[in-house]
Amino acid sequence: GENVEQHPSTLSVQEGDSAVIKCTYSDSASNYFPWYKQELGKGPQLIIDIRSNVGEKKDQRIAVTLNKTAKHFSLHITETQPEDSAVYFCAASMIAGNMLTFGGGTRLMVKP
């Protein structure tokens, strides 16, 4: 089955700096890669996703890149703000399969 590894497990940045979180996956058949943000006491919230026919996708301060050959994808947050502090999860699945496999999570702390 699919295995997703995520790094780093914790990340501390100054407000205004950029943050990058990286994930690798094992199943070359995976072609859907969402990212979730989880705040304390809440459920994961989808913030951006990318499909394998696209190499990069942006949404305001958030961008995701995908390298299918190397089987890795990354989340980039620019101009970080204190409200970006949360745990971020990457995931992978075959679209038709529905079964999301999650990475272990990254705790992002943005220091004002």
Partner 1 sequence: DAGVIQSPRHEVTEMGQEVTLRCKPISGHDYLFWYRQTMMRGLELLIYFNNNVPIDDSGMPEDRFSAKMPNASFSTLKIQPSEPRDSAVYFCATRSNSYEQYFGPGTRLTVT
- Give ∠ CA 82-88-89 in degrees, rounded to 5: 175
Residue with Cβ nearer partner 1 (80 or 92): 92
Residue type at 84 in one-letter notation: D
Q: Which residue has the tokens 């961008």?
A: 63
CB of 53 to partner 1, least distance (A): 13
Site string for partner 1, 53-92 (x = CB under 8 A): ------------------------------------x---
Q: Residue 104's closest CA among 17, 7, 1, 2?
A: 7
Q: Applying CB under 8 A, which residues contact partner 1?
A: 32, 34, 36, 41-46, 49, 89, 95, 98-105
